[in-house]
Amino acid sequence: MVEVNLWSGLRRFADGQTVVTVEAQTLRQMFAGLIAAHPGLEPVIKAGVSVSVNGVIETNLSAPLPEGAEIYLIQRIKGG
Amino acid sequence: MAKDETQGFRLIGTRPDRPDGLDKVTGRARYGADISAPGMLHAAVVRSPHAHARIVKIDASKALALPGVKAVITRADLPTGLTGEDWNLQENTLAGEKALYDGHAVAAVAATTKLIAQDAAKLVEVTYEVLPHVTDVDAAMAAGAPVIRAGTADHSVPEGMHPNVVKYIDFGHGDVEAGFAAADLVRAQSYKTEATHQGYIEPHACMAQMGSDDRGEMWVCTQGHWYIRRMSAAVLGVDASKLRVTPSEIGGGFGGKTTIFMEPLALALSKKAGGRPVKLVMSRSEVLRATGPTASASMDVKLGMKKDGTLTAAKVMFRMQGGPYIGSSPVGEALSCALACYDVPNVMHEGYEVLANRPKAAAYRAPGSPMAAFAVESLLDEMCRELGLDPLKVRLKNAAREGTKSSYGPTYNRIGLVESLEATMAHKNLLAPLGPNQGRGVASGFWFNHGGETSVSLAIGEDGTVTVSVGTPDIGGSRASIALMTGECLGIPYEKVRVNVVETGALGVNEPTHGSRATFASGLAAVEAARQAMAEMCRRAAAEWDIDPEAVEWRDGAAHPAGPNAGKFPPMSIAEIGAKMGGSGGPISGHHEVTAGGFGASFGVHVVDVEVDPETGRTTVLRYLVVQDAGRAIHPAYVEGQYQGGAAQGIGWALNEEYVYGADGRLQNTVFLDYRIPVASDLPMIDTVIVEVPNPGHPYGVRGVGETGITPPLPALANAIHAATGARLRSLPMSPPKVLAAIKAKAGG
């Protein structure tokens, strides 16, 4: 199980929670778990979000999620 | 932790000649407008003179009758049915039902000469029904404001908001009200910043060719040719692989050349003109009227502080317009950057994106962060003064560091704000005496940086030289830094490595040079590609020596036998291996592709001394210091150049630059004489200190350095002007008339 921190604007899609627990060993499973538990998150996730795992942006959907990792969904940021 | 140039690297940290230097000083470098082809036509664009108008009719018959005119296109020539950002891009490239800002393209013409094309453009008759318009972000949100495009708002916008409000964002942590209650001083202020343009010297330019089979080619000045390919293909309804896009040399971008504005027009005109190549070059006026500036912003900030300077709570509310399309303003980035420098236990961020009748905003160097810094760092300075505290010591007391929970959520890994503040406090500029009407301002700044999709190939030449193919156009010295990293890794001289920026057919997809990522991500991939090639060269040497490949090691540009049973062979150099590779197994290359994570954030601190003329309100920058964490400076001269360039742009944004709209919604300052960017005589030599706190996510510790430098100048200048005059300016630009009015208001009060 991993705990995923949502930004507070996503609470409305997650039964008022800002921290959601899902069964997942990888980012791909984490996204699938989030959407299965809270379908309202699907458009937001599909529109593109970044994921911080232990303070580092992780882009590999197959990367294993370390036990007890700090996971944040944050808005996608690129820059100039 | 300031830069130590003797860290044991052979090449990294040295300052060799830049590979594009001779081409640029002799005029041999080929920019977008320098590309031509036999049979080429020239294009001109018909643009709306209205800020908001329904397009009733377009009659191109007179234009088409002009000798030399080969094609005219309108929106009717583009496919229908696009959605989302693809629709936004198409709509912005060529208006459909409505022109949404002054300068919005409504038709385009191709002719045998540029003059004929320009004359023909004037003959295209467009009938408009002029509509009410709005250009100010606060006015666009107010009840009764003209609706720009109903139904644009996404799910996030609370009920009851004006239809121009299209996105709402909120995030935070802790209990801000409890944090404010625990403070000794709570202050709140509002701030505004005007839109500014990236101000790149080279206007947008391309030459494109497309046949009736939809296969096309384009040469274009851009920060990202795969983005140009994908976006142009979407707008024209063709497969991306049918387009081959080659980047030219680029005369500045700063984020503004990461998207399309007119490139599909050249392709569509070419197709309509029977496949003849079409060149399209914007004028400066077109660049300012119709390409992406950054957003304008209206911001509220509230901070709570203890008497000792400890921040207890922070709350920000930002409103930003980025033109008439959703998703163009950097309000999310601005919110995320606003408080990123500090360890504040209770924070709340809210923001709105708002539509307005202005050009579609594009990224601009650390998008959103400069505006946010202007608001937060100005108020922080005010509170330090009110409590009689040293503004640098307060920043150090509250500075984010490894293990701090960031204002936007995640916990920071290794970052270099504390080291940057300490290096600032030790700098001699802080000891310089100040005279009458002079003042000193400080501010901190932050940018995330970025990694992104990256594909790099490397090939060993028959003479042992190395060619690296990258997909990130070189804006700020990435060819030199990638050559240094490759040479360092392979153990060969810098001069033996050539780095080429190659076209879309030569590599996998590359994101643009944006997010300060080129040296970080393409550099990382080049090092991995070099390691692959190195391993293969060791195998080739092992085969010739008839020993196990594991018994060969690579150092000093050659394969060496290693280990007790490897035997005694003289080193085999990269040149020897290259010369024999045809007979030892074929060409030797390396390749690496990755969506790079692990990019480290960069923090900076600026100190500026100014003198303000009390009779005119003109601000003169006396001295300027940039201190910033580079992770590792691969080519320090380029890093210093990025610091200085960011500061120069920020000084322009702070003091002079702004989009001036008339009551009719038309942009009034459409040339550089009226839109005043800083010139060399406006600025002193900008002092720099490179701090190096290596990023563990890069083989040599690189952090992006291109963007953070534009963030602190806005508040640093505001704080310095306040120190010099006692007048606090909370809207940009702090142009002479505004400063003079503020001085007079203070004297009158």
Q: Which residues in chain B are contacts of A55 at CB distance < 8 A?
A: 410-413
Measure CB to CB from residue A5 to each of B155, B409, B596 and give the nearest one: B409
Residue of A nearest to B453 (CA): A59
- Which residue has 């601009």 as its token pair? B364
Interatomic CA distance for residues B706 and A80, integer angstroms: 9
Mean pLDDT score across all residues of chain B: 97
List of chain A residues whose C-beta atoms are within 8 Å of the C-beta of residue B198: 80
User: What is the average pLDDT across A45-66?
Assistant: 89
Q: Domain B452-596: which topology?
A: Aldehyde Oxidoreductase; domain 4 (3.30.365)
- What class is the B390-447+601-748 domain? alpha beta
How many whole angstroms separate alpha carbon B130 and alpha carbon B102?
A: 12
In this structure, are residues B502 and B677 in contact, taking their beta carbons and an 8 Å threshold? Answer: no
Number of C-beta neighbours around residue B565 at 10 A: 8
A4, A7, A18: which to substitute to probe chain B, counting the most B Cβ within 10 Å? A7
Contact yes or no for B209/B37 (Cβ under 8 A): yes
Alpha carbons within 13 A on the beta-carbon side of B581: 23
Measured CA angle at A79 (ends A78, A80), to 5 deg:
140
* CATH 3.30.365.10, chain B: domain bounds: 390-447+601-748, 452-596
pLDDT one-digit tens code per residue, B68-123: 999 999 999 999 999 999 999 999 999 999 999 999 999 999 999 999 999 999 99
Indicate the DSSP class of residue B626: E
Asked if B447 and A60 come within 8 Å (Cβ–Cβ), the reply is no
- Chain B positions touching A27 (Cβ under 8 A) are none
Cross-chain CB nearest to B448 (options A9, A58, A79): A79
- What does the pLDDT look like over B686-726, one tens digit per residue? 999 999 999 999 999 999 999 999 999 999 999 999 999 99
Size of interface A-B (CB pairs under 8 A): 93
Question: Taking CB atoms and an 8 Å limit, are A7 and B409 in contact across chains?
Answer: yes
Instruction: Judge whether B420 and B604 are in contact, CB under 8 Å.
Output: yes
Average pLDDT over residues B142-158: 95
Regarding predicted confidence, which is higher, B557 or A7? B557
User: Are A80 and B256 in contact (CB < 8 Å)?
Assistant: yes
Per CB-CB distance under 8 Å, the chain B contacts of A56 are 413, 597-598, 697
CA-CA distance, B372 to B189, in Å (whole number)?
A: 13
pLDDT tens-digit readout, B400-416: 999 999 999 999 999 99
Q: Determine, for residues B598 and A54 on separate chains, whether the beta-carbon distance falls below 8 Å.
A: no
What is the DSSP code (8-state) at residue B518? Answer: I
Q: Which residue of B has its CA nearest to A58?
A: B597
d(CA B694, CA B80): 50
Neighbouring C-alpha atoms within 13 Å toward the C-beta of B626: 35
pLDDT tier, B603 (very low <50, low <70, confident <90, very high otherwise)? very high
Record: contact B363-A5, CB cut-off 8 A = no
Residue A79 has pLDDT above 80, yes or no: no
Average pLDDT over residues B448-467: 97
Longest CA–CA span in chain A (Å) reads 37
Q: Which of B85, B171, B227, B317 to mutate to test the interface with A (most CBs of A within 10 A)?
A: B171
Closest CA to B353 of B364, B343, B361, B345: B361
Would you call A48 an interface residue with chain B, using a CB distance cutoff of 8 Å? no
Judged by a CB distance cut-off of 8 A, whether residue B514 touches chain A is yes
H-helix or E-strand spanning residue A53: strand A49-53
Strand partners, B352: B168, B319
The answer to whether the CB atoms of A75 and B172 lie below 8 A apart is no
For B171-198, how does the pLDDT look when each residue is reduced to its tens digit (9 = 90+)? 999 999 999 999 999 999 999 999 999 9
> pLDDT above 70 covers what percent of chain A?
99
Domain at A2-75, CATH class: alpha beta
Of B531, B718, B706, B497, give the one whose Cα is nearest residue B619: B718
Distance CA B732, CA B658 (A): 8
Flag if B410 and A72 touch (Cβ within 8 Å): yes
Contact residues, chain B, for A62 at CB < 8 Å: none
Q: Which residues of chain A neighbour B511 with C-beta distances below 8 Å?
A: 78
Task: Please state the rounded mean pLDDT for residues B605-613.
Answer: 98
Give per-residue pLDDT as tens, B49-73: 999 999 999 999 999 999 999 999 9
- B38 burial (CB, 10 Å; 0-12 / 13-18 / 19+) is exposed
Q: Is the dihedral of CA B343, B380, B353, B258 positive or negative?
A: negative
pLDDT in tens, A13-22: 999 999 999 9
- The verdict on A15 touching B (C-beta cutoff 8 Å) is no
Q: Which residues contact B81 (CB under 8 A, 6 or more apart)?
A: none
Interface test with A, best of B317, B336, B450 (most A CBs within 10 A): B450
Contacts of A59 in chain B (CB under 8 A): 451, 595-597
Nearest to B448 among A5, A70, A77 (CB): A77
- Tell which residue, B534, B532, B533, B552, has the closest CA to residue B542: B552
Q: Cβ distance B624 to B694 under 8 Å?
A: no
A52 contacts chain B (CB < 8 A): yes
* Residues near B98 by beta carbon (within 8 Å), at least 6 away in sequence: B52, B53, B54, B55, B131
pLDDT at B6: 47
**B296, B364 Cβ separation under 8 angstroms:** no
Reply yes or no on whether the pLDDT at B1 is more than 60: no
Nearest-CA distance from B730 to chain A in Å? 25
Phi–psi pair at B469, nearest 5 degrees: -105, 120
Inter-chain CB proximity A77 and B366 less than 8 Å = no
Residues of B in contact with A70 (CB under 8 A): 410-411
Sign of the torsion formed by the C-alpha atoms of B130, B134, B140 and B144: negative
Please check whether residue A9 touches B, CB under 8 A: yes
Pick from A54, A59, A74: CB nearest B595: A59
Interface membership of B413 toward A (CB under 8 Å): yes
**How far is A43 from chain B, CA to nearest CA, in Å?**
10
Chain B residue numbers with beta carbons less than 8 Å from the beta carbon of A5 are 409
Place of tokens 């190195």: B534
- Whether the link from the prior residue into B79 is cis, omega within 30° of 0, is no
The span from the CA of B479 to the CA of B519, in Å, is 8
Given A8, A77, A78, which is nearest B170 (Cβ)? A8
Using CB atoms, pick whichever of A55, A70, A80 lies closest to residue B363. Answer: A80
Q: Helix (H, G, I), strand (E, B), or coil: what is residue B66?
A: coil
A49 contact residues in B (CB cutoff 8 A):
none
Give the nearest partner residue to B336 out of A60, A75, A78, using CB atoms.
A75
- CA nearest A50 in B: which residue? B597
Residue B156 sits at the chain A interface (C-beta within 8 Å): yes
pLDDT for residue B749: 58
Q: Which of residues 245-274 of B touch A (CB under 8 A)?
A: 253-256, 258
Nearest-angstrom CA–CA distance, B586 and B23:
34
| Distance of alpha carbon B49 from alpha carbon B187, whole angstroms | 44
Question: Tokens representing B508?
Answer: 């996998």
Residue B29 token pair: 């470098």
Nearest-by-CA chain B residue for A71: B410
Measure the CA–CA gap between B169 and B299, rounded to whole angstroms. Answer: 14
A61, closest residue in chain B (CA to CA) = B595
Q: Could A80 and B254 be called an inter-chain contact, meaning their C-beta atoms sit closer than 8 Å?
A: yes
Residues 448-477 of chain B whose Cβ lies under 8 A from any Cβ of chain A: 448-452
Calpha distance B671→B657 (Å, rounded): 12
Secondary structure (DSSP) of B181-197: HT-SEEEEEEEEE----
Residue B217's φ and ψ, nearest 5 degrees, are -135, 150
What pLDDT score does A46 carry?
A: 87
